[in-house]
């Protein structure tokens, strides 16, 4: 089984997404680590309940509108996160 297939299977449980502006991602990552534990990682932490990914610009012409995608296993965690960060 390829690592890409394993990665997709593991990511299936992180289905609740919140997008935030790139200027907030470092503090948001810190908040998630403090409140939800270590981030999900394909190599180091497959049991993590959240992760974040670069989502790119919302508009191809405006890099200043770039975003990060935060993914959560639980809807309640995504909601809690979005109340403070989105």
- pLDDT value, residue 44: 87
Predicted structure pTM score: 0.79
Tens-digit pLDDT string for the chain (86 aa)? 445 544 455 667 899 999 999 999 999 999 999 999 999 988 888 889 999 999 877 666 665 578 899 999 999 999 999 999 87
Coil, helix or strand at residue 61: coil
Q: Characterise 37 by phi-psi region: left (phi > 0), alpha (psi -120 to 50), beta (else).
A: left
Asked whether 14 and 72 are in contact (CB, 8 A), the reply is yes
How many Å apart are CA 27 and CA 44, to the nearest integer?
22
Contact 81, 32 (CB under 8 A): yes
Q: What pLDDT is recorded for position 5?
A: 45
């Amino acid at each position: 089984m390829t690592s890409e297939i394993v990665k997709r299977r593991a990511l299936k449980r992180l289905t609740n997404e919140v997008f935030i502006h790139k200027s907030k991602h470092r503090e948001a990552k810190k908040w998630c680590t403090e409140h939800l534990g270590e981030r999900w990682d394909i190599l180091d932490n497959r049991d993590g309940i959240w992760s974040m990914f670069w989502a790119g610009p919302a508009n191809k012409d405006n890099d200043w509108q770039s975003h990060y995608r935060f993914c959560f296993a639980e809807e309640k965690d995504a909601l809690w996160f979005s109340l403070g960060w989105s």
